[in-house]
Structure formats: C-alpha cells, structure tokens
Amino acid sequence: MNTIYLTEKDHQRLHALVQAHRLSNGAHAVEALCKELKRAKVVASEEIPVDIVTMNSFVRLKELKSSSVMEITIVYPKDADLATRKISVLAPVATAVLGCKVGDEIEWPAPQGGIVTYKVEEILYQPEAAGDMYL
C-alpha cells in the first residue's frame, strides 16, 4: 500500500467530518475514510507536492481494464454534484484517490461487484499548487 499525503488543513477538516458522520450516520459511512486518515502522512499545505491529490483537486483517472478515462473533483459532501463531476470524498472512488500521487494505481469495489483498478493519470488542478490555500 502506497503512502498517501494530506495537508494539515484537509486532515483536520476530514477528521471533523468523520466525527460528525459517526454521530449522525454511524461509523460504517466513514469507515474507509477513517482508515485513510490514519495511514496518511500529514504535511503543511505549502509543502504538499504538486502531484498529490488533495481536497478540491480535479483529477484524470484511467480505468486500466477498459482504458476509459474519468475526470472528477474531490469535494466535501456538501459540495458534491454529479452533473459537474464533483464527487464526495465519502464516495469510494474519492476516498481511494485522496492523497495519492500521479502514477499511483488504486483499487476499489465496483458498484456492480468486483474490483476496479484506476491509475491517477494527471492532476488538472490542485488548489495548493494554484495558490488557493483557503478552499
């Protein structure tokens, strides 16, 4: 399992999100995200490498079996909007991709069963790299 990286701000906000969801929806809804938070290496926003997927990053993923490409933005649940490809960090694909770097391959359960493997092809926008430290 590759090391994942989170900014201090993302880690703090996501930890609060996990706590709030545990109280209202139970632990199951945030179990995967909680595991990712525990294994993440936390760094200052100014020090996060530009090839790491952070919150509010717009990323291109390639499904390895079919070579299909998907572009998504990883957002907090309140900002999720499928029509604009803004995917909640609580969705399996977003949880799996958060903190990964360009070139990493990630697996997660497919909705119809089985495992899907994606490669992080490119980060089209990363807030920290763009100087947007307050998203």
Along the chain (135 residues), what's the average pLDDT of each consecutive run of 10 residues? Answer: 88 92 72 88 94 97 94 96 96 92 89 88 96 78
Residue 59 belongs to some domain of the structure = yes
CATH of the domain at 94: 3.10.50.30
Residue 135 belongs to some domain of the structure = no
Long-range contact list for 49-53, CB < 8 A, 24+ apart?
49/5, 49/101, 50/123, 50/126, 50/128, 50/129, 51/101, 51/102, 51/103, 51/123, 52/5, 52/99, 52/100, 52/101, 52/123, 52/126, 53/97, 53/98, 53/99, 53/100, 53/101, 53/120, 53/123, 53/126
What pLDDT was estimated at residue 9? 94
The number of domains in the chain is: 1
What pLDDT was estimated at residue 24? 74
Segments forming the whole domain that contains residue 103: 5-125
